[in-house]
Amino acid sequence: MTRSVFTGKYERFRQLIVQARKDAGLTQVQLARKLGKPQSYVSKYEIGERRLDVIEFVEVAGALGTTPETLLRRLRSRGPVDRV
């Protein structure tokens, strides 16, 4: 089984999360503060050094002002990543 962090789908997932953060007008530091985490937490999942589990994903989506469902729909749509 392939480790999903190294697949094209996971790369797209990471791109969507990064774009959602940028669309929300947040820096990694600002998002980390909203999550009560260090900036390195955000950096590591954005660059693929660590994976988000489902609970973390829900928390990140909420902190970004979106829903997990919205991000997952975008992931499944295979359309452009811009503007989540």
| Domain residue limits, the chain | 4-74
Residue 2 predicted with pLDDT over 80: no
Supply the pTM of this predicted model.
0.84
- 33-70 burial, b at 16+ Cβ within 10 Å, e below that, comes to ebbebeeebbeebbeeeeebeeeebebbbebbebeeee
Please state, in angstroms and rounded to a whole number, the distance separating the CA atoms of residues 22 and 14. 12
Based on the number of CB atoms within 10 Å of its own CB, is 77 exposed (0-12), middle (13-18) or buried (19 or more)?
A: exposed
pLDDT tens digit sequence for 40-77: 999 999 999 999 999 999 999 999 999 999 999 999 88
Residue 28 φ then ψ, to 5°: -60, -40
Q: Note the pLDDT tens digit of each residue in 6-25.
A: 788 889 999 999 999 999 99
Look up the CATH superfamily of 4-74: lambda repressor-like DNA-binding domains (1.10.260.40)
Q: Contact, 60 vs 52, CB < 8 A?
A: yes
